[in-house]
């Protein structure tokens, strides 16, 4: 593994404008740069590059990140490979470090899987070309199907010898761990415990990712067995719902042609490819997924679905329409003549004839669906209503309002329904879809947490303010120095109600955005100096203040992602301090040169001594302000930069979402992009966020007490009732105090 110092140097050296500029034409707009997103086709630039924060972000497809993450996404590389890519670009010598056992195991497993798949693919290629069985069975089958040598080599087609354990024994002799090949699905184990080749006697179709690495295999049976095709199981490398067959061979053609053809099978892809239609991929016979659609959208926004012209093909063409439309794709459908599939049709026609057929017969998917459904319902009123509602539902999935309006107009004519009626139905359906999307995003924001509003409440333990502490937070937050004690609960910690999750998120948001900015200071008694009583000042940054508050109140983040992010922030503080020290040392020479140049300019003006002194004072003030502003930027951006370029995908995406979402100043005052105003109010916002979190926990504890009181009513347990009543009275007092604290911190009048 690359050692930490080298990783930091790569991250600090790699300039996001320079890195993105290799792929995107950027135009400067203010302090940022804008360009067309390299991850999906668009006509209006939505891809923003922030040089100060050193990362990029697409406001449409939500992709981006640091230079490392941009290279990972664009080139299909791993985190380690992206670092090496940037090291080569900037001429940085890579110093390797000793990896941990866990890192070594994870890295070793993934690399071993890639190596094993590559070896297996090469072996099965060689077996088809260089053995009698391979030529007589595998190669003959492909030749009879019209597959050319060029296509066989381009798609690395092969044949698995029908010898039971030929591949298994070869892997053992080559030194491979058979467990790795078993995880990849190349080797199976019989009920009697014997290892065997899963793909034996089959023509092999390797599945490559966008970077050209072998991630899985498909095998076509030639003996008339029960399973015509078998595929590799899902593994560390292969997630079926995120992969498309032929994407590596097709991606360049998809970009140059501005269109992607989507078919069903391996042979369909190969047949079209060798006839000259190279911008074609297959979903491998599975229902189209969001991951596959997103992959296509990386290269084009135009997609044509090609199906057989029989009843099954027509039915298949209607599947997945809504999902495709919701991804802002321009979707068309092409039905081939009866008896033809894409492979056979491509072999019967020249590429020019095929393209001409496409141009003449491909149909807009909404119009096609409306016509097909109406043709099938005939005069049945109920079926006609269902068909119309199905078309309305599909139109509602289109994100662009202009496109929806156009389809409403056209479909009202096709369906024979007044345009106003169709428009109202689409509007209602659209509201439901948007609401559902919001709900799904809310649940996705809090992984590993039950999606229920009836989860048990979380106990709250006391918060003790040290009596000797005199906090010097800004006057706006002075009200928070009153001693507040949260109620005690000795029950074991339980899952929290999802209502608490957004409150935790609000706190972690400020930690991500402003982790190490100075926040407050307070004096505490210090008796360590020879027994003499004295005081010392403790300075806290934002993350330190949150940590101190949670520790005193015996609270903690319950959402695993938030907790993991906060632990990373705490662990990076020393590295931030080192970075700040290096910045000060490196910038000192620059400021000396600026000072010398400014002083020399003053000396040449012939000013009097008092005037020279005034000018020199102005120079020192300006330089000090500039120095402080630069240091402030280093401190403020450190956590964001490192979290947004983190190796952990979950951490990185969460940090990016937090960084780019609009700034919420209060429940009644939300302003997009006003980061400076949020920073100015930070002393209020952070304390308020913590107080609201505490207040919700108090409310949950009150509900828990009421539940217990209802359980013991009529059971004669007077002592328990009195205990609960006493605790309830105490908690009500605390809640009133918390309400006053929170209410006193309303940032703006309600007449904003």
Indicate if 136 and 194 belong to the same structural domain: yes
With respect to residue 556, please indicate whether it lies within any of the assigned structural domains. Answer: yes
The per-residue pLDDT for range 685-728, each reduced to its tens digit, is 888 888 888 888 888 888 888 888 877 777 777 777 778 877 77
Residues 455-471 have pLDDT tens digits of: 333 334 333 343 333 33
Question: In the predicted model, is pLDDT for residue 744 greater than 50?
Answer: no
pLDDT band at 452 (very low <50, low <70, confident <90, very high): very low
Region of residue 146 (left: phi > 0; alpha: psi -120 to 50; beta: else): left
Mean pLDDT, range 552-581, rounded to an integer: 88
CA atoms within 13 Å, Cβ hemisphere of 494: 15
Residue with the bigger pLDDT between 309 and 171: it is 171
Residue with more model confidence, 43 or 625: 625
Strand partners, 306: 334
**Can you give the CATH number for the domain in which 231 is found?**
3.90.980.10
- CA geometry: angle at 444 spanning 671 and 111, to 5°? 120
Run of H or E residues at 3:
none
- pLDDT band (50, 70, 90) for residue 286: low
pLDDT given for residue 500 in this prediction = 82
CA distance 389 to 411: 11
Tokens of 306: 């090609």
Decide if 656 is inside a domain.
yes
Number of domains the chain contains: 4
Using an 8 Å Cβ cutoff, are 687 and 694 in contact?
no
Would you list the DSSP string of 58-81? ETTT--EESHHHHHHHHHT--HHH
**The pTM is what?**
0.53
Whether 474 is covered by a domain: the verdict is: yes
The 10 Å CB-count burial string (b at 16+, else e) for 245-268 is: bbbbbbbebbeebebbbbbbbbbb
Closest C-alpha to 72, from 52, 87, 86: 86
∠ CA(231), CA(235), CA(239), 5° rounding?
75
Kindly report which listed range (43-47, 433-437, 551-555) carries the lowest average pLDDT score: 433-437
The CATH number of the domain holding residue 425 is 3.40.1360.10
280 and 360 share one domain: yes
Q: Which of 238, 257, 278 is the last residue of a domain?
A: 238
Residue 96 lies in a domain: no
Distance CA 354, CA 348 (A): 9
- Establish if 626 belongs to a structural domain: yes
Rounded Cα gap, residues 189 and 182, in angstroms = 8
Dihedral sign, Cα of residue 620, residue 626, residue 628, residue 634: negative
Structure confidence at residue 98 as a pLDDT band (50, 70, 90): low
Based on the fold, state whether residues 182 and 296 are members of the same structural domain. no
Instruction: Choose among 89, 99, 79: nearest CA to 3.
Output: 99
**pLDDT: is 503 or 225 the higher one?**
503
Q: Judge if 514 and 577 occupy the same domain.
A: yes
**Whether 559 and 671 share a structural domain:** yes
Runs of H (alpha helix) within 145-215: 149-154, 166-173, 178-183
Instruction: From 278, 273, 288, select the one nearest 243 (Cα to Cα).
Output: 288
Domain boundary among 215, 238, 261: 238
Q: Is the pLDDT of residue 524 over 80?
A: no
- Lowest-pLDDT range of 94-108, 487-501, 606-620: 487-501
Q: Is 94 a domain residue?
A: no
* Whether 554 and 458 share a structural domain: yes
Give the three-class secondary structure for 263: strand
580 dihedral zone (left: phi>0; alpha: psi -120 to 50; beta): alpha
Mean pLDDT of 281-304: 81
* DSSP assignments along 562-609, one per residue: HHHHHHHHHHTHHHHHHHHHHHHHHHHHHHHHHHHHHHHHHHTTT--H
For residue 95, tell me if it sits in a domain: no
Where is the domain boundary, 54, 89, 124? Answer: 89
Q: What is the mean pLDDT of residues 258-280?
A: 90
**How many CB atoms are closer than 10 A to CB 458?**
21
Say yes or no: 72 and 171 in one domain: no
Domain extent at residue 425: 247-440
pLDDT digits (tens, 9 = 90+) for 236-256: 888 888 889 999 999 888 877
Q: What would the pLDDT profile of 45-97 be if each residue is shown by its tens digit?
A: 888 888 877 888 888 777 788 888 888 877 767 777 888 888 888 888 876 65
CATH number of domain containing 56:
3.90.580.10
Burial of 480 (0-12, 13-18, 19+ CB in 10 A): buried
231 and 165, same structural domain?
A: yes
- 532 and 670 inside one domain: yes
Longest Cα–Cα distance of the chain, Å, equals: 103
Of 131, 114, 209, the C-alpha closest to 166 is 131
Quick one: average pLDDT of 398-418? Answer: 85
Within a domain: residue 216? yes
One domain for residues 326 and 372: yes
| Distant-in-sequence, close-in-space partners of 652: CB < 8 Å, separation ≥ 6 | 65, 69, 643, 644, 645, 646
Distances (CA, A) of 270 to 127, 152, 432: 21, 9, 41
Instruction: Based on the fold, state whether residues 554 and 689 are members of the same structural domain.
Output: yes
Whether 647 and 734 map to the same domain: the answer is yes
CA 39 to chain centre: 13
């Amino acid at each position: 593994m690359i050692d930490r110092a080298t990783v930091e140097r790569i991250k600090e050296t790699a300039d996001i404008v320079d890195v993105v500029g290799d792929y995107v034409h950027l135009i400067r707009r203010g302090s940022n740069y804008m360009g067309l997103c390299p991850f999906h086709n668009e006509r209006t630039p939505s891809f923003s590059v922030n040089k100060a924060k050193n990362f990029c972000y697409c406001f449409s497809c939500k992709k981006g990140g640091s230079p490392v993450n941009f290279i990972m996404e664009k080139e299909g590389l791993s985190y380690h490979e992206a670092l090496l890519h940037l090291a080569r670009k900037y001429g940085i010598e890579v110093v390797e470090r000793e990896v941990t056992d866990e890192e070594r195991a994870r890295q070793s497993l993934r690399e071993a899987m890639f190596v094993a798949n590559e070896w297996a693919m090469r072996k099965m290629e060689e077996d088809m070309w260089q053995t009698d069985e391979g030529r007589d069975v595998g190669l003959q089958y492909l030749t009879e199907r019209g597959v050319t040598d060029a296509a066989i080599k381009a798609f690395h087609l092969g044949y698995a010898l029908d010898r039971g354990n030929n591949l298994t024994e070869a892997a053992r002799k080559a030194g491979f761990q058979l467990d790795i090949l078993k995880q990849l699905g190349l080797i199976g184990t019989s009920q009697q415990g014997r290892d065997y080749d899963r793909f034996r006697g089959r023509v092999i179709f390797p599945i490559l990712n966008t970077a050209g690495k072998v991630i899985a295999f498909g095998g076509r049976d030639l003996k008339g067995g029960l399973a015509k095709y078998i595929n590799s199981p899902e593994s560390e490398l292969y997630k079926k719902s995120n992969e498309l067959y032929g994407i590596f061979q097709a991606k360049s053609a998809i970009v140059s042609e501005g269109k992607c053809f989507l078919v069903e099978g391996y042979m369909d892809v190969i047949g079209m490819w060798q006839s000259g239609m190279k911008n074609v991929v297959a979903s491998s016979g599975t229902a189209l997924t969001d991951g596959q659609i997103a992959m296509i959208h990386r290269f084009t926004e135009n997609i044509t679905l090609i199906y057989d012209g029989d009843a099954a093909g027509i039915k298949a063409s209607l599947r997945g329409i809504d999902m495709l439309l919701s991804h802002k794709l321009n979707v068309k459908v092409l039905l081939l003549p009866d008896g033809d599939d894409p492979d056979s049709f491509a072999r019967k026609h020249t590429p020019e004839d095929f393209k001409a057929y496409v141009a003449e017969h491909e149909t807009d998917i909404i119009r096609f669906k409306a016509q097909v459904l109406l043709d099938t319902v005939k005069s049945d009123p109920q079926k006609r209503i269902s068909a119309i509602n199905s078309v309305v539902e599909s139109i509602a999935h289109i994100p662009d309002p202009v496109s929806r309006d156009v389809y409403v107009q056209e479909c009202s004519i096709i369906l024979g329904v007044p345009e106003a009626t169709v428009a109202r139905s689409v509007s209602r359906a659209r509201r439901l879809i948007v609401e559902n999307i919001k709900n799904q995003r809310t649940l996705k924001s809090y992984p590993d947490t039950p999606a229920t509003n009836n989860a048990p409440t979380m106990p709250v333990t006391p918060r003790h303010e040290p009596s000797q502490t005199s906090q010097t937070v800004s006057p706006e937050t002075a009200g928070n120095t009153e001693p507040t004690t949260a109620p005690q609960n000795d029950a074991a910690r339980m899952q929290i109600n999802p209502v608490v999750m957004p409150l935790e998120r609000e706190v972690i948001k400020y930690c991500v955005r402003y982790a190490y900015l100075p926040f407050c200071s307070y004096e505490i008694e210090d008796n360590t100096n020879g027994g003499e009583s004295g005081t010392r000042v403790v300075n806290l940054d934002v993350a330190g203040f949150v940590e101190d508050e949670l520790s005193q109140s015996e609270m903690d983040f319950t959402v695993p992602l938030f907790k993991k992010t906060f632990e990373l922030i705490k662990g990076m503080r020393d590295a931030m301090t080192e970075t700040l020290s290096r910045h000060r040392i490196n910038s000192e020479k620059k400021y000396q040169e600026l000072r010398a140049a400014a002083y020399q300019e003053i000396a040449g003006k012939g000013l009097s001594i008092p005037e020279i002194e005034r000018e020199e004072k102005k120079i020192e003030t300006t330089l000090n302000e500039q120095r402080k502003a630069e240091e402030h930027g280093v401190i403020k951006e450190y956590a964001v930069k490192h979290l947004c370029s983190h190796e952990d995908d979950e951490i990185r995406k969460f940090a990016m979402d937090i960084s780019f979402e609009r700034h919420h100043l209060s429940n009644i005052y939300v302003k997009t992009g006003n980061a400076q105003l949020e920073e100015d109010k930070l002393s209020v916002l952070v304390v308020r966020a913590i107080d609201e979190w505490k207040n919700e926990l108090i409310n949950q504890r009150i509900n828990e007490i009421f539940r217990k009181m209802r359980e013991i009513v009529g059971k004669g347990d007077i002592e328990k009732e009195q205990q609960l009543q006493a605790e309830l009275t105490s908690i009500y007092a605390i809640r009133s105090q918390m309400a006053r604290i929170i209410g006193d911190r309303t940032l703006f009048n309600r007449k904003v």
